[in-house]
Structure 1
Amino acid sequence: MTEPTRLGGFLRKSGAFLVVGGAAFVVDAVAFNLLAFGIDGHGPLYDMPLVAKVIAIVVATVVTYVGNRYWTFGTRALQRKFSRYVIFVALNIAAIGIQLGCLAFSRYVLGFEGILADNIAGTFIGQALATAFRFVTYDRWVFPDDHESSARTAIESA
Structure 2
Amino acid sequence: VTIQAQILDLLKELQEERNLSILFITHDMGVIADISDRVNVMYAGQIVEKAPVESLFANPQHPYTEALIETIPGEETREEGLRTIEGEVPTPNEPATYCRFAPRCPKAFDACETNPPANVPVGEGDEHFAACLLYPEGLSEAERLERHREHQPRTGIDSGGADE
TM-score, normalising length from structure 1? 0.31
More strand by share: 2
- Structure number with greater Rg is 1
Higher relative contact order (CA 8 A, sep 6+): 1
TM-score, normalising length from structure 2? 0.30
More helix by share: 1
